[in-house]
Structures are given as C-alpha cells and as structure tokens.
Structure 1
Amino acid sequence: MMGLTIDKILVILVIAMFVLGPDRLPVYAKKLGEFVRGAKRMADGAKDRLRDEMGPEFDEVDWKQLDPRQYDPRRIIRDALVEDEREARAAARRARLAEAAQNRRAASGAVAGEQVDERGGLHFDEEAT
C-alpha cells in the first residue's frame, strides 16, 4: 500500500492552488481542517463508546489482528480450501480406522469360533459348551 509522503502532499497542494486559485485556497484549507478534526472527534467518540461498552476487555483486544488491510483474499480462499481438504482427509482417516477396527473384531471372532456383534461385543457359541 502506498503511503502519503511529503512529495505527494506538495504535488497535491500545488495542483489545488492551480485549480482553486489563491483566493479560494485558504477557505477550502480551513474546511478540510474542520473536516479532519470532526472525523477525528467522531473516531475518538466511537472508540470511547466501545471502551465503555466492552469494559476492561477493550484493552485486551489485539486490534492489529482485526485490521482488514492484513487480509489477502487469495490467502483466505487458499486457507479455506486447505482446511476443507484437511477435514476430508481426517474424515477418510476416521472411516479407515473404524473399518480396520471392525475387520479386526470380525477376524478375532472368526478365528475363535465366536460371533461378534455390531458393537464389538463377543457372543459365545453355546453349542460348543
């Protein structure tokens, strides 16, 4: 993001002097100053109201983290896609683990001549005893 440097401010002032003329420039400069002061008062008032409503939590908030200029839409989309992919992998992994556990229970029941129910509990063969 480009910053407003002294050179740029001087160029803007020179252009404003040519466009507005030397007679109207002080009037518009005064209006601009009043506008900036009013905007600052409004921002300070909003900040004070927010501080009053939030209480002591206001000072604990990391405001830089909430700065919208730090968000890159490409990164947000990439992170969302990666997160979806991670969730899909985790779900597939859980399904494979559940299937493997079920296969182990079924195999252990078949080897011992016992039946295994859907909860993994063993049933003894009553005819064998």
Structure 2
Amino acid sequence: MIFGLTIEKLVVIGVIAAIILGPERLPRYAAMLAQAVKRGREMLGTAKERMQGELGDDVDWRSLDPRQYDPRRIIREALLDDTPRVATASATASAASSAQAAPVAAPSAYTPGTPPPFDSEAT
C-alpha cells in the first residue's frame, strides 16, 4: 500500500487512464511513466550514496530520529519508568540526622479572615 493506494485502486486508475488516453497514446505515456520511475530510483540511489559518503557507514540512526524529541513520548516514558531510585547510605544518614536536629513544623491550616501565607522567595 503506497500513499493509501491498494492494488484494486491502481487497477481502476489504469483502466480509466486506458479509456481516457486511448490505445494510440497509452504506450507513449506508459514509457514516460517508466522513465520517471527510473529517474526517481536513480536520484534516490545517488542521494543514499552521497549521504553514506558524508556520514559514514557507522551512523546511529536512532540518535538522528526527530521523533525522540516528541514531548508526549518523553512524558510517557518518564511516567512509565519503573526503575526505583536508589538512595545512597550517606544521603539517608544525613537526612535522618537533619530531621532529628531541626524538626519541621507542619503547615497550619488557613483560617478565613487572616491574610494568606506569603513566600517571598517563590515569586
């Protein structure tokens, strides 16, 4: 299936072209189509050779894929990442000692009629 064209659609297009062009012009247009396809293949082959010549044979195509920068894919992979984060023993020990040294008070609930808490570093 090329560009959404199936075999049946190509046959219908061919029959319509044969009817419209007629038997005297059809061979000439078929030869022109064959030449265009041949030139297209040659151009594609030349472009492929040139790209391999400039980039080399050991190209990592995954690193050149622009789909890797899709924000939806990045977020999906980040959310579905099941690898646990391993904390080091020194970080755990320092966190435990700081929690014992300076306990953090839980934020108090907001009461109506008083001004809301303001964090000057957040703005």
Q: What TM-score do the two structures reach when normalised by structure 2?
A: 0.50
Counterpart in 1 of 2:98? Answer: 105
Gap regions ≥5 residues in structure 1: 111-129
- RMSD (CA atoms): 4.1
Cα 1:37–1:55 change in 2 (3 A) is same
Identity of aligned residues (%): 34
Separation (CA, whole Å) in 2 of partners of 1:62 and 1:4:
30
Gap regions ≥5 residues in structure 2: 103-123
Counterpart in 2 of 1:54? Answer: 55
**Aligned pairs, how many?**
91
Moved over 6 A (4+): none
Higher helix share: 1
Separation (CA, whole Å) in 1 of partners of 2:5 and 2:42:
23
Cα 1:23–1:78 change in 2 (3 A) is same
Counterpart in 1 of 2:76? Answer: 82
Post-superposition offset of 1:104:
3.1
Cα 1:38–1:23 change in 2 (3 A) is same
Separation (CA, whole Å) in 2 of partners of 1:80 and 1:40:
36
Cα 1:54–1:78 change in 2 (3 A) is closer
Cα 1:86–1:100 change in 2 (3 A) is farther
